[in-house]
């Protein structure tokens, strides 16, 4: 994929004006709407659930990219699909039977993503990479928006990109946490296909302009040595 995708995360929006935030994304060059589901167990924070997801879907004109930061996600896959998720991403660390969970997501017709926490190495996906539509590299510890980008995520993206290239799969690489204009070019250069941006869009002075800028970055092809 040459042109990267952008998924603004509504976690950073003003919740009293959530409808306006979604409308803004609808009218922008952004590609997906990123929806962060937190349960207070897998992560130390609670955000929103299926009812808010359903409400977002009712006015969204872009696909919903649902990031499940919850324990036992297999219990809620059908529910989030019915609520309108187009992509469902579960955490590697929350799934003892990840292959089964990925198949369960695919059976609903959604795109299946697997997220890796900052401490989880990419090589753990070697036996599953062909089955996954997307890998989400967490570049902060999950649970909160507005955190500082963890630089070690960049070599992880490169390793994952190499794995995907060698195995000749079409798996997308998404990066989530602390993403903004200051690091987007490096992330794309390393092999990222989808940028998630919360604070750098919705906390920007001009969110529309922030989206235009994040979409406008050119990705030079990586040179293999
Ligand atoms: O999954 C997440 C946090 O767990 C969010 O998607 C992420 O933090 C986006 O927010 P920001 O761009 O402000 O870091
Ligand atoms: Fe997220």
Segment 40-55 mean pLDDT: 98
The model's pLDDT over 121-134, given as tens digits with 9 standing for 90+, comes to 999 999 999 999 99
Average pLDDT value for the chain = 97
127 catalytically annotated? no
Domain ranges (residues) in the chain:
5-216
The model's pLDDT over 151-172, given as tens digits with 9 standing for 90+, comes to 999 999 999 999 999 999 999 9
Q: Is the pLDDT of residue 30 over 90?
A: yes
The model's pLDDT over 56-65, given as tens digits with 9 standing for 90+, comes to 999 999 999 9
User: Which residue among 8, 35, 87, 140 is best mutated to probe the pocket of ligand 1, counting the most ligand atoms within 8 A of its Cβ?
Assistant: 140
pLDDT of residue 225: 47
Q: What SS3 state is found at 69?
A: strand
Segment 200-204 mean pLDDT: 98
| Alpha carbon of 225 to ligand 2 centroid (Å) | 33
Confidence grade of residue 1 (pLDDT, cut at 50, 70, 90)? low
Confidence grade of residue 2 (pLDDT, cut at 50, 70, 90)? confident
Looking at 39, 65, 133, 176, which residue is catalytic?
176
CATH of 5-216, one of 1.20.1600.10, 3.30.930.10, 3.20.20.70, 2.60.40.420: 3.20.20.70
User: Which residue among 147, 201, 202 is best mutated to probe the pocket of ligand 1, counting the most ligand atoms within 8 A of its Cβ?
Assistant: 147
Q: Is the pLDDT of residue 224 over 60?
A: no
Confidence grade of residue 219 (pLDDT, cut at 50, 70, 90)? confident
- What is the model's pTM? 0.97
Segment 88-100 mean pLDDT: 98
ipTM over 0.95: yes
133 catalytically annotated? no
Whether the CB of 39 sits within 6 Å of ligand 1: no
The model's pLDDT over 182-192, given as tens digits with 9 standing for 90+, comes to 999 999 999 99
**86: Cα separation from own chain's centroid:** 12
């Amino acid at each position: 994929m040459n042109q990267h995708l952008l998924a603004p995360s509504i976690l950073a929006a003003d919740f009293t004006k959530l409808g306006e935030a979604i409308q803004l994304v609808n009218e922008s060059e952004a590609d997906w709407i990123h929806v962060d589901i937190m349960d207070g167990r897998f992560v130390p924070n609670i955000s929103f659930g299926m009812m808010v997801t359903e409400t977002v879907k009712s006015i969204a004109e872009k696909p919903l990219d649902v990031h499940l930061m919850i324990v036992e996600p297999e219990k809620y896959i059908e529910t989030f699909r019915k609520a309108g998720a187009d992509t469902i991403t579960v955490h590697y660390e929350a799934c003892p039977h990840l292959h089964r969970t990925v198949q369960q997501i695919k059976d609903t017709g959604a795109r299946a993503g697997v997220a890796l926490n900052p401490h989880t190495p990419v090589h753990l996906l070697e036996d599953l990479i062909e089955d996954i539509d997307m890998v989400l590299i967490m570049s902060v510890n999950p649970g909160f928006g507005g955190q500082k980008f963890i630089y070690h995520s960049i070599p992880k993206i490169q390793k994952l990109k190499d794995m995907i290239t060698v195995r000749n799969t079409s798996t997308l690489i998404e990066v989530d946490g602390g993403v903004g204009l200051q690091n987007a070019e490096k992330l794309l250069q390393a092999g990222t296909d989808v940028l998630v941006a919360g604070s750098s869009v919705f906390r920007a002075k001009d969110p529309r302009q922030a989206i235009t800028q994040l979409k406008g970055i050119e990705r030079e092809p990586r040179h293999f040595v």
